Chain A
Amino acid sequence: MPNVLKSILTHGHRQRLLFCLLLVAVLLLPFATDALLGRGWVRIVDFAMLYIMLALGLNIVVGYAGLLDLGYIAFFAVGAYCYALTGSPHLAMAYPLLFPDGLHLSFWIVLPLAALLAGGFGVLLGAPTLRLRGDYLAIVTLGFGEIIRIFMNNLNAPVNFTNGPQGISRIDPISVAGVSLNSTQQVMGITLPSVHLYFYLFLAFTLLVVFVSSRLEKSRIGRAWMAIREDEIAASAMGINTRNLKLLAFAMGAMFGGVSGTLFAGFQGFVSPESFSLMESVMVLCMVVLGGMGHIYGVILGGLLLALLPEVLRHSVVPLQQALFGKTLIDPESLRMLLFGVALIVVMLYRPAGLWPSRVRRRELESDEVAR
């Protein structure tokens, strides 16, 4: 930012201006993407938003409270299956007597229930792991994630609850104020395709998650979490109830995951256990760590980058090779994942604290000045 501007505007003003500019840019994003890159990219950005929500949720557990969680995708799965069960004809097909037409609950009723249920699962996971640290915690959370996935994959017999590996299809699309998001809408002469509508819905939820995260971070609870992260024994000596706060971290993180999951189910219209594999948990963790643990903007950046990078590589590997060598030398698919792996390594080597780490120190100093 030029010095002139810096001198005219105070820090707060600059922040606000930047925020407004960013907001306008984000609001126009689906149209710009659609026009420049194609509608497929809007869908990719939609998925990126879901990942950002997941990464922010995991950031509470890993970034704030310092609890390594390798099974986070389980909460995403719980949310997704909540809406899949209540918003699809699955129950009607499995139990025609009990539910002749299926439940078909509104998304807005399922959402809070799913969040609560996911939060409950978070506590369920947290309770037996309170005494565990580091790598032991990692393996237990990993196991928990696998347990949830295995149950979802197998609960089609003797009672058909999840329809097993076949997954649940024909999930109702999300509708807002009676308008189904699965159709193209005209608003004031502007055509909004389905992916654009979902974009705005996801944007709203992402902003909500960002807001809640940032309030939590600065709250008493957030500071207590960070105290636990830095030194659990010292924290408990200072009178922090580490047990309750750790459980709260698990529950809060899980709720964000659950919300993201219900959105996913409505957007995709189909859920199956394949979508909730261990690799997905690992991917979300990579987003948090790569972006900068405990720093909201960093985590958003990490989520965005890792969700987009494989797709960017998908679109660019072949043309790039053709531009450089005149022909496709290496199979694009293997090269794509290879470059992805290389990117993970290189980023960590050069920025071990993440791409955009939080400046905890500096912020503390600044807030001191403001307080005075």
Chain B
Amino acid sequence: MEIFFQQIINGLVQGSVYALVALGYTMVYGILGLINFAHGEVVMVGAMLALSALTALIGWGVPPLLALPVSLLLAMAGCMLLGFGIERIAYRPLRHAPRLAPLITAIGVSIVLQNLAMMIWGREYHAFPQLINNQSHHVGGAIINDIQIVIIITALGLMAGLMAIVHRTSLGCAMRAVAENQHAAQLMGVDVNRVISVTFMLGSALAAIAGLMVSANYGLAHYYMGFLLGLKAFTAAVLGGIGNLRGAMLGGLLLGLIESLGAGYIGDLTGGFLGSQYQDVFAFFVLIAVLVFRPSGLLGERLAERA
């Protein structure tokens, strides 16, 4: 039972990490209907920036509790700039191009960012400094530590914050208008380009937060870390219904739980024939099963034709 409870906690933490990244995907998709495949790399850049800033600040003798938020803000600013630039260069000119064209530029942007990061930060893995005493807590026989609690709370908080922005502010109103119909929104006096730019910057700021959280939790950052994370988060976003913020959260948590329970129990369920090496297979099977019955994800809108 303790083991089961621990697996649930593992799944929740892992799922919150996916959700943090998935929120960024879904944010952009909801407005533009475009998968920003480079989002995983923006997360990576965020982690790297935060790490560099943190190391520099600590080196200057800034106390850790001050250095942490400052480097987070720096990373967010850097990522917002990056997100703005990516949209301006790689997506905006293609807004009316065939559907797959922006997909290819996104792949191009991913490759470019990865290799730039390799040139700037080197090929080695960077260890994340252990600054704060990361205390463990025992909850009913299972263990959870401070960073993990912060991750779960941050993911939930950011989702709530984003929903408030989208549904309560005038910016959010403009976003929803652009998502509904760009031309009509423009006629109503919405500055479509500005709204899209802001959306990208918002998504990229989220990526910076996610990057810092991920590297603090696992204790490392590497120029290649964005790829797998981005892929898993994308899966999570689709599972929940891409374009839906609550869906991203739900999909992330669900994927995390499926993975950890799958890894923990596939072996027992199949009598040792299949083991934890099939955890991704298991996750994809669940995804396919969900999509067969609900073709636009768990919480996705039922749009008949929106390719």
The 15 listed contacts between A and B (C-beta, < 8 Å) are A62-B100, A131-B295, A133-B307, A136-B238, A139-B234, A139-B235, A139-B291, A140-B288, A140-B291, A147-B284, A289-B100, A338-B115, A344-B107, A345-B90, A348-B104
Q: Which residues of A contact B (CB under 8 A)?
A: 62, 68, 128-129, 131-136, 138-140, 142-144, 146-147, 150-151, 153-154, 158, 232-233, 278, 282, 285-286, 289-290, 293, 330-331, 334-335, 337-338, 340-345, 348-349, 352-353
Indicate which residue in A138, A146, A289 contacts B104 across the interface (CB closer than 8 Å). Answer: A289
How many residues from B make CB contacts under 8 Å with A?
A: 49
Q: For residue B223, which residue of chain A has the nearest CB? A: A334
Q: For residue B120, which residue of chain A has the nearest CB? A: A334
* A151–B89 alpha-carbon span in the complex (Å): 40
Map CB proximity to A onto B286-307 as digits: 1 under 8 Å, 0 otherwise: 0110011001110000000111
> Contact: B104 with A290, CB < 8 Å?
yes
* A352–B306 alpha-carbon span in the complex (Å): 20
> Contact: B288 with A128, CB < 8 Å?
yes
The minimal Cβ–Cβ distance linking A281 to chain B, given in whole angstroms, is 11
Q: Is B56 an interface residue (CB 8 A)?
A: no
The minimal Cβ–Cβ distance linking B210 to chain A, given in whole angstroms, is 20
> Contact: A345 with B109, CB < 8 Å?
yes
> Contact: A133 with B278, CB < 8 Å?
no
In the complex, chain A residues whose CB is within 8 Å of the CB of B114 = 337, 341
- Of all A-B residue pairs in the complex, the 7 with the closest CB atoms, nearest first, are A341-B111, A344-B108, A352-B97, A143-B284, A341-B112, A134-B307, A345-B108
The minimal Cβ–Cβ distance linking B159 to chain A, given in whole angstroms, is 21
> Contact: B105 with A345, CB < 8 Å?
yes
Q: Which residues of B contact A (CB under 8 A)?
A: 29, 35, 89-90, 93-94, 97-105, 107-112, 114-116, 118-119, 231, 234-235, 238, 242, 272-273, 277-278, 280-281, 284-285, 287-288, 291-292, 295-297, 305-307
> Contact: A150 with B112, CB < 8 Å?
no
Q: For residue A151, which residue of chain B has the nearest CB? A: B281
Given contacts A133-B307, A140-B287, contact A286 B104 (CB under 8 A): yes
The minimal Cβ–Cβ distance linking B35 to chain A, given in whole angstroms, is 6
> Contact: B296 with A147, CB < 8 Å?
no
